[in-house]
């Protein structure tokens, strides 16, 4: 990992995490899935850098407990 930030980068992690969970409150599974998808696309565009996005994808894939 050369470009992707893997050290803590959020000043108030509890606040941001709470906001993420709160955004899903009261949503059905379908609505939550759609929200997550929109959020990923918005953040991907904000990052913009394909190298970082691919590193993030690789990190997410390697962290999947169901995949050997």
Partner 1 sequence: MNPSIEERYPLAFRLYPYQKNADQERSNAVRHPVVVVGGGPIGLATTLDLGLKGIKVLLLDDHEGAGAGSRALCFAKRTLEIASRLGAAEPMIEKGVQWNIGKVFHDDRQIYEFNLQPESGHQFPAFINLQQPYFEKFLYDAIAKAQSSGAPIEIRGKNRVDALTAHADHVVLEVMTPDGPYSVAADWLVACDGARSPIRTMMGLSFDGRVFEDNFLIADVRMNVDFPTERWFWFEPHFKSGDSALLHKQPDGIWRIDFQLGWNIDRKAELEPAKIRSRVDAMLGPNVEYELVWTSIYTFQCRRMEKFRHGRVLFAGDSAHQVSPFGARGANSGIQDVDNLGWKLAMVVKGTANETLLDSYSTERVYAAEENIQNSTRATDFITPKSEISKIFRNAVLDLAEKVPFARPIVNSGRLSLPSIYDGSYLNGADDIQLPRRTRPGSPAADTPLGEEWLLAKLGGQFHILAIDAEVPETLSIASVALSTIMLSSTGNAALRERYLGEAQSAIYLIRPDQHIAARWTRFDEVAIGTALLQATSSPENL
Binding site for partner 1 (CB under 8 A): 33-34, 37-38, 40-42, 45
Which one, 12 or 29, has the nearer CB to partner 1?
29
CB of 53 to partner 1, least distance (A): 13
CB of 32 to partner 1, least distance (A): 10
* Helices of type H across the chain: 13-23, 29-47, 50-62
Which one, 15 or 33, has the nearer CB to partner 1?
33
Which one, 5 or 38, has the nearer CB to partner 1?
38
CA distances from 24 to 8, 33, 34 (A): 24, 9, 10
The Cα–Cα gap between 66 and 40 comes to 21
């Amino acid at each position: 990992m050369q470009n992707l930030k893997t050290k803590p980068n959020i000043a108030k992690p509890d606040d941001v995490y709470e906001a993420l969970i709160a955004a899903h409150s009261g949503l059905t599974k379908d609505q939550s899935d759609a929200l997550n998808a929109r959020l990923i696309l918005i953040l991907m565009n904000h990052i913009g850098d394909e190298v970082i996005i691919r590193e993030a994808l690789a990190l997410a894939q390697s962290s999947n407990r169901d995949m050997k």
